[in-house]
Structure 1
Amino acid sequence: MSSAAITVDQDIWRPKYNPWLIAVVVALAAFMEVLDTSIANVALPYMAGNLGASNDQSTWVLTSYLVSNAIILPISGWLAGAVGRKRFFMACLGIFTVSSLLCGLAPSLGFLLLFRVLQGVGGGGLQPMAQAILADTFPPEKRGLAFALYGITAIMAPTIGPTLGGWITFNYSWRWIFFINLPVGVITWFLVRRFVEDPPYLARLKAAGLKLDYIGIALLALGIGALQVLLDKGQQDDWFGSNFITTLVVVSAVCLISLVIWEWYQKAPIIDVRMFKNFNFAFSSLMMFTLGILLFSSLVLMPQFLQTLVGYTSQLAGLALSAGGFVLLLEMPIMGQLTTKIQARRLIAFGWLALSIAMFYSTKRIDLQISFSAATWLRIAQVIGLGFLFVPITLAAYIGIAPEKNNAVAGIVNFMRNMGSSVGTSLVTTLIARRSQFHQLRLVEKARIDNPNFANAAHGLTQRFISSGLGRHEAQATAYARIYQSLQAQAASLAYIDTFMVLCVGAAIMFCLSFVLKKNDPGGGGVTVAE
């Protein structure tokens, strides 16, 4: 079947049911999966206590899910072509729902990890297939509106996940963060079965048959699995100071480089790496990767700063961040409309500029005395740029790509964003730890007896503790401990400022790269088939 023939089929074919009904159904499935990537974070200590595991062991609940999820994401397009997209989507939804039930019933950590791997396998196909279904269901000129709905799920879910997870765990049990998937999963499965259908070109691709690439799958599983584990455990194990992490780096690098070379020469690759020859697709993938970094970095930085240094509870920190989520909820539909009137690259450039300015503003505004309202407005400033990025970048990725590649585009773009989220989380965790040590050493140099400011502060605190009833020696030790505690908080605060500056520079670089993207015709969707 030639690309021309498939393109004609795609231009003529329209779904039997209202496209917006289909959009809501598939977006609901994607929302459930994205929510699950972040909802378990705050419940880890409760899981550890209930299952008789250590806190370090409980973190594998997150890692096991991310590893299996990351392996399925990039090959979801190939799997959809092999078994049919609707069938694959329903299978993923069924596996995800059943494994959620099993996670909630898990009697031990070992069983929980096994079921989380299965849950990651099911979840790995939901995001990209939801996006691919939207791309085929809507004509090119209306894709921006459809992707705006999908963007709400991709960006809103990780925003509310930790807050919802904390509330459920505190008021009920950690097991209910998995049980809540059951009614949503079952209802969505039946809705997908009723309303979603495959376009004609997918049926013809399936009939043509696809060869199973065992070597490619093995290289992908080893490479991505090793990469995900090293990103998740790198800072905890001191990166290259650990033989385990060093081994993972070597395994990941060798397998992924070999994968690219192997897939490049395959007639039916599980990952179509030749799509990266398309300049626009390559840069859109890079930008989606960077967006994943900045989105999840800010999601980690703000609540962590407010809880560890300012003393907020998890619920109060969640409330401070929730205003940003509401802004995105309002912004996404507007962005969908703008994509029909303004070139995608101009919206992308504005989004990166706004995000860079917001991150720079964060370096000036964040401090240990920040108020709740100031933290709320700061978060709102940080998310405004995000709303201008997700939909236009997704649209730009499809420019110059043939319709039969929609599944592959969706799989790779979502994979890049998810890997960016893992890199972003690992990046900020490492930066905060290393820069805190750096600033602490610099501040300690000033904390000497011959420094009059330090001596006066220590003497004043000592006298205050003596007046409260402590002996001189105990009062002096307590004063030094209090000063050191304050010094550590100041060092950590400076580390957060440094991290926001790194994110500012990253967004500024992406702003410059925005102008090398191809122009598109907003009214016509901008999709031109290059193959």
Structure 2
Amino acid sequence: MADAAAMGGSGARSAGRTTNPWLVAVVVAVAVFMEVLDTTIANVALRYISGGLAISSDEASWVVTTYLVSNAIVLIASSFIAQRFGRRRFYLLCLATFTLASVACGLAWNLPSLLIFRMIQGFAGGGMVPVSQSILTDSFPPNKRGQAFAIFGVAVVVAPVIGPTLGGYISDNFSWHWCFLINGPVGAIAFTLVYFLVQESDEARKKREDMRKKKIRFDLIGFLLVATFLGALELILDRGQTEDWFDSNFIIITTVICFAAFVAAIPWLMTAKNPIVDARLIATRQFGSCILVMLATGAILYSTTQFVPQVLQENFGYTATWSGLALSPGGLVTMVMMFTAGRLSGLVQPKYLIAIGAAIIAFSMYDMTRLNPDLNFGFFVWSRCILGLGLPLIFIPITSASYDGLRPDQTDQASALINAARNTGGSIGVSIATNVLAHREQWHQSRLVEHVVPSDPAYIETMRNLQHFFTERGATMADAQQQAFGMIGQQVQEQASYLAYVDVFYTLAIISACTIPLALILRKIDLNGGGDAPAH
């Protein structure tokens, strides 16, 4: 373990040309922030993209789908590619490709060109995030990684929150093209800084040479099976509601392909000499629990980021900019809490921090069930701030806990799987929330309509008052009756919508609460970097 400590302590010298590893962490975080930002920045710009390219809103939604699918697919391959060809080289290639693809997205002339560039952007971006975590692991000793991951966590957790705000402001005041073009100068600066400040660690370099000597080959079959499974799953989750689920041949065929790929992948990954995904790693109590917790965390993070602005725009009449601004204070709270959680992770066992964070998030979601038409801007800001307190208490400890007990050659794959879990969890969360919203809105509307009958005293009284209201303003009796009936129908629909959103937040509260027992079954780790820390 003395070697481990020495290696950890020399991480800054081996992973960066600067003697200050914090500068490496900031530079890497900027690049990751840019990549993660693009998972949500386009969401609020879809109607502008639809109008600008003269396409339907359903066609425009493929801008988000293609990015998520390509991002999920490349994550599982990033571990092998980074080890085989070098983390720094692969990271720079991904960063340059992502930047150029972003500019190309902003200059796209039609939907096919935009989708192609968006797919390339997703492939490049998917390789950046896990390699970033590996760079941080090399740069910091185990007892400092919690604070280092806090900087990384700011990028990963705050970026999806800022995405709708920035995307809404740019779309409202400039053009949707700048949602992508903004990555050009930021990416160029990040590329330059990474090029000069980050280099390969001695351990990674030795691993690369060892792989070359042993002629370890890429697990193409395993990659195709897992990529097919994840890609098909992302398509099902993202397009299910739009395609009317299993009433659609597209969804049925995609589901069959997804299931077949999953079934075929299990025996292959368990028996392959150098599998693309270490199935045994996922099956362990420690790492498997971390995967499940990260799935739930991704579900909460991405679903709330999408549905809070959505309810503000649809039910409260907010602009895209103001609906995004409701999330911004929560992002600031998250940023501050990231560093607090980073320090706490060196003092308190991850299992307890995660359980506390999950409880705070569950309370935040439960608080959102008080949704009603009389709420003001401050309610949503406050609720998001509570959520911002809980997220870092999960994200930082779960990252540290997931690396506990792993060999150095497993860290790249562990990072890729954790990030894949976050992205997949986000898609699952959004899909669950979308379906709960759609089905519960129909259910509530059906229940409310049962009371809109001529024999109901409350209905009779409401119709009488509304007719009197409209006739006083010059409407004929026939017109007043029609207007009154229309207003009642509108009120029923709006009330059903509010109640459906309440059910969505109840569901998210339950998902968050379920992570508490998962957190508590994690084993205790050595907070000082000894014991179960990876040996070098």
TM-score range, shorter chain: over 0.9
What secondary structure, in the 3-state scheme, does the structure 1 residue paired with 2:317 have? coil
Shift, 1:463, TM fit: 1.4
RMSD: 1.8
Count of residues paired in the alignment: 527
The residue that corresponds to 2:507 in the other structure is 502
Report whether the alignment pairs 1:304 with 2:310: yes
Shift, 1:39, TM fit: 0.7
Which structure 2 residues correspond to residues 74-93 of structure 1 after superposition, within 5 A? 74-93=76-95
- Distance verdict in 2 for CA 1:67–1:212, change over 3 Å: same
Shift, 1:409, TM fit: 0.9
The residue that corresponds to 2:266 in the other structure is 260
- Distance verdict in 2 for CA 1:302–1:204, change over 3 Å: same
In structure 2, give the amino acid aligned to 1:371. Answer: N
Which structure 2 residues correspond to residues 310-459 of structure 1 after superposition, within 5 A? 310-363=316-369, 365-459=370-464
Mean Cα displacement is larger for which, 109-118 or 190-199? Answer: 190-199
CA distance in 2, matches of 1:435, 1:234: 16
CA distance in 2, matches of 1:145, 1:8: 17
Shift, 1:277, TM fit: 3.4
Which structure 2 residues correspond to residues 49-448 of structure 1 after superposition, within 5 A? 49-207=51-209, 208-209=211-212, 210-363=216-369, 365-448=370-453
CA distance in 1, matches of 2:72, 2:6: 32
CA distance in 2, matches of 1:362, 1:175: 34
Report whether the alignment pairs 1:492 with 2:497: yes
Shift, 1:81, TM fit: 1.2
In structure 1, give the amino acid aligned to 2:289. Answer: F
What secondary structure, in the 3-state scheme, does the structure 2 residue paired with 1:37 have? coil
In structure 1, give the amino acid aligned to 2:488. Answer: I
CA distance in 2, matches of 1:187, 1:502: 42
The residue that corresponds to 1:40 in the other structure is 42
5+ residue gaps, structure 1, are: none
Shift, 1:349, TM fit: 0.9
Does the 8 Å contact 1:10/1:403 carry over to 2? no
CA distance in 2, matches of 1:197, 1:123: 20
CA distance in 2, matches of 1:5, 1:515: 30
5+ residue gaps, structure 2, are: none
What secondary structure, in the 3-state scheme, does the structure 1 residue paired with 2:254 have? helix
The residue that corresponds to 2:470 in the other structure is 465
In structure 2, give the amino acid aligned to 1:216. Answer: G
Question: 16, 31, 34: which one pairs with 2:33?
Answer: 31
Shift, 1:530, TM fit: 8.5
Does the 8 Å contact 2:8/2:139 carry over to 1? no
Mean Cα displacement is larger for which, 468-477 or 270-279? Answer: 270-279
CA distance in 1, matches of 2:381, 2:135: 36
- Distance verdict in 2 for CA 1:491–1:333, change over 3 Å: same
In structure 1, give the amino acid aligned to 2:442. Answer: Q
- Distance verdict in 2 for CA 1:281–1:481, change over 3 Å: same
Does the 8 Å contact 1:201/1:404 carry over to 2? no
In structure 2, give the amino acid aligned to 1:261. Answer: P
Shift, 1:34, TM fit: 0.3
Does the 8 Å contact 1:344/1:522 carry over to 2? no
What secondary structure, in the 3-state scheme, does the structure 2 residue paired with 1:99 have? helix
Does the 8 Å contact 1:92/1:126 carry over to 2? yes
What secondary structure, in the 3-state scheme, does the structure 2 residue paired with 1:124 have? helix
Shift, 1:77, TM fit: 0.9
- Distance verdict in 2 for CA 1:94–1:82, change over 3 Å: same
CA distance in 1, matches of 2:451, 2:359: 38
CA distance in 2, matches of 1:328, 1:114: 34
Shift, 1:418, TM fit: 0.5
Does the 8 Å contact 1:143/1:525 carry over to 2? no
- Distance verdict in 2 for CA 1:34–1:496, change over 3 Å: same
The residue that corresponds to 1:14 in the other structure is 11
Shift, 1:334, TM fit: 0.8
CA distance in 2, matches of 1:393, 1:173: 38
CA distance in 2, matches of 1:12, 1:395: 17
Shift, 1:198, TM fit: 1.8
In structure 2, give the amino acid aligned to 1:55. Answer: S
Query: How big is each residue's C-alpha offset from its partner over 1:237-283, in whole Å with a ceiling of 9 and x where there is no partner?
Result: 11112121111111111112322321221121122222123311110
In structure 1, give the amino acid aligned to 2:280. Answer: R
CA distance in 2, matches of 1:420, 1:212: 27
